[in-house]
Amino acid sequence: MAEYNFREIEKRWQKSWADSTIFSAEEDPSKPKFYALDMFPYPSGAGLHVGHPLGYIASDIVSRYKRINGYNVLHPMGFDAFGLPAEQYAIQTGQHPAITTKENIQRYKEQLRNIGFSYDWSREVQTCDPAYYKWTQWIFMQLFNSYYDKDENKAIGINQLIQRLEKTGNKDVNAVCDENTPKISAKDWNAFSQPQKLDILNHYRLTYPAEAMVNWCPEMGTVLANDEVKDGFSERGGFPVERKLMKQWMMRITAYADRLLENLDSLDWSTSMKEMQGNWIGRSNGCELDFKVADQNLKLTAFTTRPDTIYGVTFVVLAPEHELVATLTTAEQKAEVEAYVQYATNRSERERMAEKNVSGVFTGSFVVNPFSGEKIPLWIADYVLAGYGTGVVMAVPSSDDRDFKFAKHFNLAIKCVIEGTENLENPTEIKKGIMINSDMLNGLESDQATLKAIDFAAKNNFGIPKINYRMRDAVFSRQRYWGEPVPVYYKEGIPYLIDEADLPLELPEIDEYKPTSEGEPPLARAQNWKYKGVYEYETTTMPGWAGSSWYFLRYMDANNEKLAVDPKKANYWGSVDLYIGGTEHATGHLLYSRFWNMFLYDIGVVNHEEPFKKLVNQGMIQGRSSIVYRDKKTNKFISAGLIDKYETVAMHVDVSMVKDDYLNLESFKNWRPDLAGAEFELEDGKYKCGYEVEKMSKRLYNVVNPDDIVESYGADTLRLYEMFLGPLEQSKPWDTNGIDGVFRFLKKVWNLFHDNDGNLNLSDEKPTPEEYKILHKTIKKTADDIDRLSFNTSVSGFMICVNELSALKCNKREILESLLIILSPFAPHISEELWQLSGKSDSILHATFPEFNDKYLVESSFEYPIMVNGKLRAKITFNIDESADNIKKEVLANPQIEKWLEGKDVKKFIVVPKRIINVVV
């Protein structure tokens, strides 16, 4: 009577779980904790497609597995709800982004519920909720009130800095600050006006206002962070981005550069992920060297990582934006230099990148090599960046590719300083070796020469060791509406934090979501929006990454109205034990989160320095588009196998009209009016489509919605199939074609419990050794596979297990109940249903993962593959403890083997116990 009715079963259990508190987590010191986290989604209008749940399913399996292994599991979900698409939509339609966002979240939650995730929804967070962003603003305030002390190597309250300034000025303060921070004495400080004092403090604060060169995207009307710009275009939308000097809030992430870099070692992340962050931070060890300007009382400081090549310096190059460009240009060169600077600074980042040609201009001035005393020309070129190092490069054309190209182009001197490069067409091919033509450094190895050069420069007061970073402080302002307001107001042009008691500072209502006619951000439109009714608020909002930089902490204590997170709870849950999400967040979210978490660690909010102990990047699920081919001459559609005979045009068709690559002709004709009269050239009476693996996108008609899969196969099938598709971390195309196999598997599971008439049929008989063996083999495999997140192989393990049990017609309760428990993290609905049908009153969620027992797998004999010279020739079964001599005797006497020996001498006889036997002749 009972068929596998997944629709009814899944609805029922999903409701039952939602009505209970079965997935809510409470701190419980008696149990080990496990924190499994998904990167929370941005709720877009398009809903989830089949690629999104991949990681969620994996983390859900681990969560459920850990739960039945006695762990206290925290497995929450929420929404990264501030963002551009909702705002763009608001600009077009006038609809408040909060409304669209709310609708989209509703839709997402329903889609997620359909898949049967074990989320603790009581801890849901939404970044756009004032109850949440109150604390995002609070963290901003803590950053504003802190500076980074290098001696303590941590963030410290700004009040302590003020006390030191009052007593001794800043000469002994070893802190991270702006390059241009003035040296002040206690006397200076105490004589300063309040605005002057605040200005000094801004040079130290971990979040600070600054005039900064930013990535301005005119199309979007906002600035973007470095990680939001790709090849001169915005990552979202693909609009052109230009450089612009603007007043911005900045985050002093560079203060943490070293710790962010060094801690990478301790993290269980993929090497490529660590590599990406390492490159992004880009620490380079080197030194600064001073070059005196010839005949003037001026010096230029260059940063170099290769002071060993100092004797190979044949010119020095300034960035076009360098402040001394005008001073150092001679009268004769003035016109040429001005024209070049004009040209270089007006070009956008994008143009500069597209431009591969070498460009530059001579200043007319000369500088002096501090080591050799040689006079060398000073140039200006845009391959030198104002923002990196000092904006001055000592050019060594014999060791550096760019310097080499530049010297070649302008016919400048090239001097080789490394042995073996003298006769090379391109001396930069050899980067390190024994120094030559280098006076005091001659004969030294590059690395030793580097040390000696730095030492010499330091002793003679024209150089110091220095570490530079590629990473910049992060721009924190967005000229947009749909983000967290910055909790700052202005009094006489000076920014002040609002009172903590006035948090949250809520987004005001405005008439339109566009910038004002004066180009002010949308918040400038707000009427009567003033602090204490008097002072203007900051009108930029926080960027998308603000709310996502600490949401993993809020989950630990999501409903606390008094604190961002109770340190006691944060200490209990600690770092995330498994974080699953996309690789696209390598240099954005994952870096900013580490930064904020580290800061909160410094100020004592949490007791773990790193937020994500283990990180796994799920691969992208690509679309598998279906293609039909229209004959150019007759307008007939030609089946894929026959297109060689015609000249055809390819056309994407909706994948919902295609099954197993065969096109449903009726649906196709009904798809669009112009196709109603379509004719076809068929193969074997069917139309076979071609396919293409590409991005999943509406435009390519290849989007597959999980709701549709759940409707036709059920959530358990979807979960298993997504896992079965291949390794979690690998990108792969979604191909619905294979899903029947997984569905069949679940039906076989169902059939194990039922007789041919569909009646429940379980036996209480003692299982046979063979049945135990099948079960315990699968228990071990499942546990091992989950530990290494190899879910595709555990699914095939289940299939093997069920195939073998079916062959034995096994319906032993003892075996099948254990099977249900190990299957339950993967296919929770069917497992729960069969568990209850078999007479259990308690949920399978409260069951315990069966203990693996080795004794069922012990074999008394093994069928050895016998190889002769590495080629498989026979198989013979021996007892496990058979002596090597006996094995040898029997193998050599075997007629199958004898044939291959042909009486030749046996050189070697190798027996690898329980593996293989190899005879070498």
Choice from 372, 583, 656, 667 touching RNA (CB under 7 A): 583
Per CB under 7 A, contacts with RNA among 649-678 are: 660
Integer Cα distance of 327 and 507 in angstroms: 48
Q: Any contact of residue 305 with RNA (CB under 7 A)? A: yes
Output b/e per residue, 18-33; b: 16+ Cβ within 10 A. Answer: eeeeebebebeeeeeb
Q: Any contact of residue 313 with RNA (CB under 7 A)? A: no
Q: How many CB atoms lie within 10 A of CB 82?
A: 30
Tell the smallest beta-carbon distance from residue 701 to RNA (Å). 19
Q: Any contact of residue 24 with RNA (CB under 7 A)? A: no
Give whichever of 50 and 867 is closer to RNA, judged by the CB atom: 867
Q: Any contact of residue 730 with RNA (CB under 7 A)? A: yes
User: How far from chain centre, in Å, is Cα 918?
Assistant: 48
Tell the smallest beta-carbon distance from residue 83 to RNA (Å). 19
Radius of gyration of the chain (CA): 35
Q: Any contact of residue 872 with RNA (CB under 7 A)? A: yes
Tell the smallest beta-carbon distance from residue 309 to RNA (Å). 9
Is 93 buried (19+), middle (13-18) or exposed (0-12) by CB count in 10 A?
exposed
Give whichever of 290 and 400 is closer to RNA, judged by the CB atom: 400
Choice from 781, 815, 831, 849 touching RNA (CB under 7 A): 781
Say which amino acid occupies 624.
R
Give whichever of 286 and 521 is closer to RNA, judged by the CB atom: 286
Per CB under 7 A, contacts with RNA among 598-657 are: none
Give whichever of 666 and 764 is closer to RNA, judged by the CB atom: 666
Piece of the chain touching RNA by CB under 7 A; list 187-195, 730-738, 827-835, 841-849: 730-738
Q: What are the angstrom distances between the C-alpha of 345 and each of 229, 342, 360, 730?
A: 19, 6, 12, 43
Give whichever of 168 and 869 is closer to RNA, judged by the CB atom: 869
Integer Cα distance of 197 and 200 in angstroms: 5
Q: Any contact of residue 295 with RNA (CB under 7 A)? A: no
Tell the smallest beta-carbon distance from residue 912 to RNA (Å). 4
Q: Any contact of residue 303 with RNA (CB under 7 A)? A: yes
Choice from 18, 326, 339, 385 touching RNA (CB under 7 A): 385
Tell the smallest beta-carbon distance from residue 817 to RNA (Å). 22
For RNA, how many residues bind (rule: CB under 7 A)? 88
Q: Any contact of residue 587 with RNA (CB under 7 A)? A: yes
Contact 702, 694 (CB under 8 A): yes
**Could you tell me the sign of the dihedral formed by the alpha carbons of 269, 271, 276, 277, in that order?**
positive
Closest C-alpha among 553, 704, 618, 697 to residue 111: 704
Token pair belonging to 704:
């597959």
Q: Any contact of residue 468 with RNA (CB under 7 A)? A: yes
Tell the smallest beta-carbon distance from residue 426 to RNA (Å). 12
Choice from 54, 293, 384, 810 touching RNA (CB under 7 A): 384
Integer Cα distance of 68 and 845 in angstroms: 7
Integer Cα distance of 426 and 422 in angstroms: 9
Per CB under 7 A, contacts with RNA among 891-920 are: 908, 910, 912, 915-916, 918, 920
Piece of the chain touching RNA by CB under 7 A; list 25-33, 134-142, 301-309, 849-857: 301-309
Output b/e per residue, 511-549; b: 16+ Cβ within 10 A. Answer: eebebeeeeebbbbbbeebebeeeeebbbbbbbbbbbbb
Give whichever of 388 and 462 is closer to RNA, judged by the CB atom: 388
Binding mask 200-239 for RNA (x = CB under 7 A): --------------------------xx--xx--------
Is 434 buried (19+), middle (13-18) or exposed (0-12) by CB count in 10 A?
middle
Integer Cα distance of 391 and 433 in angstroms: 28
Give whichever of 104 and 390 is closer to RNA, judged by the CB atom: 390
Per CB under 7 A, contacts with RNA among 785-844 are: 785, 788, 790, 792-793, 795-796, 799-800, 803, 806-807
Measure the CA angle with vertex 874, ends 870 and 876; round to 5°.
Answer: 115
Integer Cα distance of 41 and 62 in angstroms: 19
Choice from 502, 863, 890, 898 touching RNA (CB under 7 A): 863
Tell the smallest beta-carbon distance from residue 618 to RNA (Å). 13
Choice from 394, 556, 590, 816 touching RNA (CB under 7 A): 394
Tell the smallest beta-carbon distance from residue 682 to RNA (Å). 14
Choice from 875, 879, 884, 898 touching RNA (CB under 7 A): 875
Token pair belonging to 475:
């721009």
Piece of the chain touching RNA by CB under 7 A; list 7-15, 23-31, 724-732, 771-779: 724-732
Q: Any contact of residue 5 with RNA (CB under 7 A)? A: no
Closest C-alpha among 827, 656, 658, 620 to residue 734: 620
Tell the smallest beta-carbon distance from residue 735 to RNA (Å). 6
Give whichever of 221 and 913 is closer to RNA, judged by the CB atom: 913
Contact 544, 101 (CB under 8 A): no
Give whichever of 230 and 846 is closer to RNA, judged by the CB atom: 230
Tell the smallest beta-carbon distance from residue 890 to RNA (Å). 18
Q: Any contact of residue 459 with RNA (CB under 7 A)? A: no
Tell the smallest beta-carbon distance from residue 381 to RNA (Å). 8
Contact 418, 436 (CB under 8 A): yes
Whether the link from the prior residue into 769 is cis, omega within 30° of 0, is no
Integer Cα distance of 497 and 489 in angstroms: 6
Integer Cα distance of 341 and 318 in angstroms: 11
> Which residue in this structure is represented by tokens 């994948």?
655
Q: Any contact of residue 272 with RNA (CB under 7 A)? A: yes
Q: Any contact of residue 871 with RNA (CB under 7 A)? A: yes
HEC string of 274-326 equals HHHHHHHHCEEEEEEEEEEECCCCCEEEEEECCHHHHHHCCEEEECCCCCCHH
Give whichever of 555 and 791 is closer to RNA, judged by the CB atom: 791
Q: Any contact of residue 545 with RNA (CB under 7 A)? A: no
In DSSP notation, 476-540 reads: --BS-SSSPBPSEEEETTEEEEPPGGG---PPPP-S-SS--TTS--GGGG-TT-EETTTEEEP--
Piece of the chain touching RNA by CB under 7 A; list 477-485, 549-557, 728-736, 818-826: 728-736
Contact 78, 40 (CB under 8 A): yes
Binding mask 315-334 for RNA (x = CB under 7 A): ----x---------------
Give whichever of 305 and 843 is closer to RNA, judged by the CB atom: 305
Tell the smallest beta-carbon distance from residue 310 to RNA (Å). 11
Per CB under 7 A, contacts with RNA among 731-760 are: 731-733, 735, 737-738, 740-742, 744-745, 747-748
Q: Any contact of residue 888 with RNA (CB under 7 A)? A: no
Piece of the chain touching RNA by CB under 7 A; list 12-20, 201-209, 351-359, 832-840: 351-359
Rounded to the nearest 5°, which phi and psi values hold at 65? Answer: -65, -45
Say which amino acid occupies 691.
Y
Tell the smallest beta-carbon distance from residue 324 to RNA (Å). 14
Give whichever of 479 and 918 is closer to RNA, judged by the CB atom: 918
Q: How many CB atoms lie within 10 A of CB 292?
A: 17
Binding mask 683-722 for RNA (x = CB under 7 A): ----------------------------------------
Q: Any contact of residue 584 with RNA (CB under 7 A)? A: yes
Token pair belonging to 335:
């016109």
